Amino acid sequence: MPELVQQLPDGPIDFIGDVHGELDALQRVLTHLGYRSDGSHAEGRHLVFLGDLVDRGPDSPAVALLVRQLVINRHASCILGNHEMNVLLGKHRTYNRWLGHREGISGPLEQAPQRMATDSERVKILDFFRTLPVVLEHDELRVVHACWDARAVEVLRRAGPDADVVSCLRVADDALRRATVVGASDPCAKANLNPIRRLLCGPEIPAFEGASRSTVRTPWWQTDHGDQRTCVFGHYCRVFLGEGPAAEIERREHPFGGMKRRWTWASERTICVDFGISRRWSERLSGQDPALFQTRLAAFRWPETVLVDDLGHEIQPGTADAGFSL
Ligand SMILES: [Mn+2]
C-alpha cells in the first residue's frame, strides 16, 4: 500500500491534466514537451499526471498502461483522480465500460468507441491504481486532483505508510452515515466532509433552482489562503461553452463560469490544468472537423509556468480575473 501523501521530486516538472483515455492527444503532448518514447527527457524533466487517466475516451487501457510504464521507469508520478477511485470502488458507469461490464447509464456516450481492456490489462491497471497516492508536495508545490484542503490532507498524512485509500474512503463514508444529524440534512455532507472525496472531487453546495443536478461544484481556489505554495490541480473541465439555454445553465453551474478567459490561473497561486479533453469523444461523435475541436489536453511546466497543449501551442496563462469565457 502507498503512503497517501508523498514527496514530489526536485527539479523541473511537467504536470499533465486529466487524459480520459485520449491516447493520441497524450502522445502528442509528450512529444511537444520533448519526452522520448521511454519517458526520459534530455533535460531530466519529470512528468506528473494529475489523475483521471481513464474513461470516456477511445483507449483508456493504453493510457493507463503507458503511464504505469512511465512510473515504473521512474520518469513519472501519478496521483489518483475520482475516476480511478470509482474503478477501485467497482462502480460501473457508461464511461468506464472499457473494464468489461455492460451495465451503466445509457446516453450518447454509448455510441463512442472504447477499446476494451483484456483480462491481463485489467489486472495490471487495477494493481497500478492501488499504488497511487492522493497528494504530492514539496516546499514549493502542492498537487491534488480536484481540491486542496489542508485539514483533509492532514487526515491522509496521519493515515500512515500502509493506508488503503478505498478503506479510508469507506470508513469516512460510514462515519458520516452514522452522524445522521449532518448526513440526513445536508446533500453535500459526503462530498465535503469525507476527506478523500473532498480532495478527489472538490467541495459542493446545494444547487440553485433550475440546475441540472442537485449539487454544484464550488470554486474553492477563491478562498485558498494560508499556504504560499503553488497548487496544481485538474478535474474542472475548462471547456469552451457555446450559446443557448443549455450552455447558459452550464455556465452558471461551472465553478470557472464567472471567469472570462480559459487559459488563466485559477487564483494567484492555483492553476487548474484540465482543458476539457474529457469531452473530445463528443466532438468526435458530432462529426465535426478535428481541426475545429475546442477541447485540449495540456501540460503545465514548472518552474517556467507555461502551458503546452496537444497542438504544440505554448501559452502563458493569464491572471485569474482577465479575458473572456471558459
Ligand atoms: Mn476528476
DSSP states of 112-145 as a string? S--PPPPHHHHHHHHHHHHT--SEEE-SSEEEES
CA of 80 to the centre of ligand 1 (A): 9
CA of 38 to the centre of ligand 1 (A): 27
CA of 96 to the centre of ligand 1 (A): 13
CA of 42 to the centre of ligand 1 (A): 31
In a domain, 321, yes or no: no
CA of 35 to the centre of ligand 1 (A): 25
CA of 178 to the centre of ligand 1 (A): 27
CA of 158 to the centre of ligand 1 (A): 24
CA of 279 to the centre of ligand 1 (A): 13
pLDDT value of position 243: 74
Assign residue 267 the CATH number of its domain: 3.60.21.10
pLDDT value of position 180: 64
Domain carrying residue 251: 5-157+219-315
CA of 236 to the centre of ligand 1 (A): 7
Rounded to whole angstroms, the Cα distance separating 277 from 1 reads 30
- 306 neighbors 12 (Cβ within 8 angstroms): no
- Helical packing angle, 60-72 and 119-130, nearest 10°: 50
- 240 neighbors 325 (Cβ within 8 angstroms): yes
pLDDT value of position 207: 80
CA of 145 to the centre of ligand 1 (A): 7
For residue 154, CA distances in Å to 124, 203, 233, 311 come to: 30, 17, 18, 38
CA of 202 to the centre of ligand 1 (A): 9
pLDDT value of position 323: 45
In a domain, 308, yes or no: yes
Interior/surface letters 276-314, b for 16+ CB within 10 angstroms, e for the rest: bbbbbbbbbeeeeeeeebbbbbbbbbbeeeebbbbeeee
pLDDT value of position 79: 98
Give the count of domains, the chain.
1
pLDDT value of position 127: 97
CA of 219 to the centre of ligand 1 (A): 14
For residue 265, CA distances in Å to 92, 164, 172, 221 come to: 34, 33, 32, 10
Could you report the per-residue pLDDT of 96-105, keeping only the tens digit for each? 999 987 766 6
Q: Among positive and negative, which fits the CA dihedral 95, 207, 156, 268? A: positive
CA of 240 to the centre of ligand 1 (A): 18
CA of 50 to the centre of ligand 1 (A): 9
CA of 325 to the centre of ligand 1 (A): 21
In a domain, 191, yes or no: no
In a domain, 296, yes or no: yes
In a domain, 273, yes or no: yes
CA of 72 to the centre of ligand 1 (A): 23
> pTM for this structure?
0.94
Residues of the chain with pLDDT under 50: 183, 323-324
Name the residue among 157, 166, 156 with its Cα closest to residue 82.
166
In a domain, 166, yes or no: no
- 18 neighbors 50 (Cβ within 8 angstroms): yes
In a domain, 255, yes or no: yes
In a domain, 175, yes or no: no
